Amino acid sequence: MYEKIVSELKELDSNTNLILTLKIGENGLNEVNYISGEWSGKVYSIKATSVWKSSELVSEMQISDVINLLSSKKLNEMIASDFSELEITDANDGEITVTEVKWNEPLTEEELKKAPSDDEMYWDGLIDDEFIGFYAGSLISLNINDDLDYNVTI
């Protein structure tokens, strides 16, 4: 699909890890966070979903994996699972929705009145796990570089 780029990548050292910077289009990035925290001696866990209006991700991949990806898919066909260990480097104007709240023990009526809001628990807690997803058509550009002298953007 990207024959020229694949050819250039094959000329690089096969042990090279490539750094990929992905720009995701409007409302294209979905992030699910599993967060835990403590309030008044009670432990909570929440699940929150964020949809980001604009975002940038980074992935480090072996050169052979990038060659295989570029040989099999067009940019608009690539999805999050095509990339290794995606990290969000920039995300803007997101809408965060807490979809699940669990307490380690039931709260009394008085505690419920004083308990932090879903948003407060989101911002005050610690992220235990996260899932980052985007779907076909969400990726608007892909930069590939080797941290030396190779650098190309699709």
Residue 84 has pLDDT above 80, yes or no: yes
Question: Does residue 141 contact residue 153 with C-beta atoms inside 8 Å?
Answer: yes
Dist CA 29 CA 138 (whole Å): 8
pLDDT reported for residue 94: 87
Using one digit for the tens of pLDDT, what is the confidence trace for 111-132?
Answer: 999 999 999 999 999 999 999 9
pLDDT reported for residue 143: 97
Confidence band of 1 (pLDDT split at 50, 70, 90)? confident
**Which helix (H) or strand (E) covers residue 111, if one does?**
helix 109-114
Compute the mean pLDDT over every residue in the chain, rounded to the nearest whole number: 94
**Which helix (H) or strand (E) covers residue 67, if one does?**
helix 63-72
pLDDT reported for residue 44: 97
Domain ranges of the chain: 3-146
Question: Does residue 26 contact residue 3 with C-beta atoms inside 8 Å?
Answer: no
pLDDT reported for residue 14: 87
Question: Does residue 70 contact residue 18 with C-beta atoms inside 8 Å?
Answer: no
**Which helix (H) or strand (E) covers residue 10, if one does?**
helix 3-10
pLDDT reported for residue 116: 96
Give percent of the chain with pLDDT exceeding 70: 100
- Neighbouring CB atoms inside 10 A of 94's CB total 17
